[in-house]
Chain A
Amino acid sequence: MSDNPFPLSREELLQIYQSMRTIREFEERVHVEFSRGDIPGFVHLYAGEEASATGIMTHLRQEDRIASTHRGHGHCIAKGVDVKGMMAEIFGKKIGVCGGKGGSMHIADLDKGMMGANGILGAGAPLACGAALAAKYRGNGDIAISFIGDGASNQGTFLESLNLASIWDLPVIFVVENNGYAESTSVDWAVAGDSYVDRAAGFGMPGVTVDGTDFFAVYEAAGEVIRNAREGGGPSLLECKMIRFFGHFEGDAQTYRAVGEVDEIRANRDCIKSFSKTVISAGVLSQDDLEACDSKIVSLVDEAVSEAREADFPTEVDLLTDVYVNY
């Protein structure tokens, strides 16, 4: 093993690999289970985007808050939400992380600082401003991350949040996960000005663009903007340019994509493959290290699915609970 050239230790790199790989395995498996007809409702899969969630979450502490999008499984896993609890939730079971009452689009764990996936696009931005306001008011150095899609960057809530964060100088980072498509429509058509950092510039907020399929590029840029926010340097916008392997939702035939596009990106723009190649060629981790990790993850996700399948659904008793703290 040669010297480690990365700003992360060998153990940290292994953990990062594990996080990304878990997201990938989880999403690929949910895709399979969904196509078998056993998962109710809508799911939106994060496969292909792992470097963004992990590159950012590696810098966060448990107390830092994140507000996610409808495509929230990746953010959850990277933030440390229990994988088995997540799978059970997606199946709608009582042991799910939200008691089976939220489902994929509302998956959350406030104890882990995950303020929820959100079925309303753009709704997370004001919530993240609120978390940042609380952190600033308490002076504890915590920050908040608002994950937003390229499509939701056109929502009033997003633009209002850029303004509010700027005038109140909030420790919040707006991460625009630009995967090129808002449902079926292309960013080339939908986003006037074709730039997210320019939108931030309009509010006097610095904006940075990185290759979201390169873990180290995301890690380094995220590190700077997060450090900046923690130290009182205010909000920033970070655009991660990435690709999604699956459709907007499961069941989306993706006919709006070019023929062969998905195969090409799976072959040439897989962030996990490029991460693996980088760490292996630097001699810090070996193929065996990664494969050992892989098999543990496959078992974990496998168990998560079988436990979720066997678990009970919530019952009538659960229908009426938790509407209020007290009524």
Chain B
Amino acid sequence: MAINCYFSSKKLCNQYKSLSKISSTVTVGLVANPFSARDIRRVVSNASSLQVSDRAQIVMRVLSGLRACGVRRVLMMPEKGGIIRLLKRDLQRYQQMGNNRFPELEMTDTPISGTVDDTFAATQAMVDSGVKVIVVLGGDGTHRAVAKFCGQVPIAGISTGTNNAFPEHHEPTITGLAVGLVATGRVPESVSLSPNKLLRIDINGGERHDIALVDIVVSIEHYIGARALWRTENLRELFVTFSDPEVIGMSAIAGLLEPVSRNDTGGLHVLMDIPEVAATLLQVPIAPGLIRTVGLQSWQRLEAGIPIILKQSSGTIALDGERELEFGTEDNVQVTLHENAFRTVDVGACMRYTGKHRLLVGAPLDLLPT
């Protein structure tokens, strides 16, 4: 495709042409979950429900950031929860009005069942097709699902769930810019990408296994039911990869006890009991607007690579805040912390580098031909 050069300087013109070559092959993946933040915590706590139209606006903001950095192709997980319908409508309207501020949107050729399986399949498809980064809109559960299949492809998370302990909070337009800069290779990986820990749970030597990005909680409740956790008197064990005191949810139990950052080695293991018999008590923001008393027995640092056998003999296991697995006395359950398990985009570091090195000063990273 012929590119008209709008610069007086040949140097800038060549710079632009080489950028365009990079830009036209760069693809970013995007997983947007329309169904997160819809559970019972809307009623038992003060959790908000982010409307589908708001989620679509967040995606539009990310897309504008990506396009401004030269990313012209976004590969998205298909869904029928309403986000894509609104996106397509808005993108079409913009096109009709002659506005080309957004990348082309394509869907992965994967099934739509309305379950987490869609996320698994779409993530794998994105990795297979060579996306540079995967942007995720969802709660901790959605991020977890992507992390299972992303391999070496880094993730940039945007929180649209209930507690959102995992993704850091940034303006989505900025996330889009940061991801665009990373995807087009403008910021070195040593600056832009962070390593992340995760927890792996194995039942009966791997017969059943799963992961968690932030926390694993063992509850004496014996059935999965409505999945969310809020009855703190039933909690017995907690494992966290990091514990941030500025975050709500199960990991806040650890965060307010012994903060361990994402960059520190190791995690934390906490043993709990009912407040009446526990060694000490802790006030914890367990869900939005919900502060409960938790009974603590003991806690210790969790070292990477060393499997810990559960103290609790039966119950349910919640991964990143949602009950997922049931286990009984006959099951052997182990939790192991892994470091450098997957990578995330450090939006803050990216943008600081961008500002310091004036990456957005001068010729626009992507000029639009008429």
Contact = CB atoms under 8 A, between A and B. Distances in A.
Q: Do A and B bind each other?
A: yes
A194 B80 contact: yes
Nearest to B80: A188
Specify which of B38, B114, B314 lies most central, judged by the most chain A CB atoms within 10 Å of its CB.
B38
Interface stretch (B19-27, B169-177, B218-226, B239-247): B218-226
A147 interface: no
A7 B35 CA distance: 27
A197 B37 CA distance: 10
Interface string B76-104: 00001110010000000000000000000
A274 to B, nearest CB: 11
Interface string B199-227: 00000000000000000000001111111
A209 B328 contact: no
A47 B81 CA distance: 25
A301 B326 CA distance: 36
Contacts of A206: 42-43, 49
Contact of A193 (B39, B40, B51, B224): B51
Size bin of chain B's contact surface = 20 to 34
A317 B77 CA distance: 64
Interface string B40-61: 1011100001011100000000
Interface in A188-219: 188, 193-195, 197-198, 201, 206-210, 216-217, 219
Contact of A216 (B34, B38, B39, B223): B223
Contacts of B328: 2
A225 interface: yes
A225 B43 contact: yes
B223 A208 contact: no
A207 B51 contact: no
A241 interface: yes
B222 A228 contact: no
A233 B43 CA distance: 9
Contacts of B53: 193, 198
B222 A282 contact: yes
B224 A216 contact: yes
A278 interface: yes
Contact of A224 (B40, B49, B314): B40
Nearest to A210: B226
B52 A195 contact: yes
B42 A220 contact: no
B327 to A, nearest CB: 11
A221 B223 contact: no
Interface string B60-86: 000000000000000000001110010
A128 to B, nearest CB: 18
B49 A220 contact: no
A7 B225 CA distance: 10
B51 A198 contact: yes
A194 B85 contact: yes
A221 B226 CA distance: 6
Interface in A177-197: 188, 193-195, 197
Contacts of B44: 224, 228
B81 A195 contact: yes
Contacts of B49: 197-198, 201, 206-207
A13 to B, nearest CB: 11
27 contacts: A5-B326, A188-B80, A188-B85, A193-B52, A194-B52, A194-B82, A195-B81, A195-B82, A198-B51, A198-B53, A206-B43, A206-B49, A207-B42, A207-B49, A208-B39, A208-B40, A209-B38, A210-B39, A217-B227, A219-B225, A220-B226, A221-B226, A224-B43, A225-B40, A228-B43, A236-B43, A239-B38
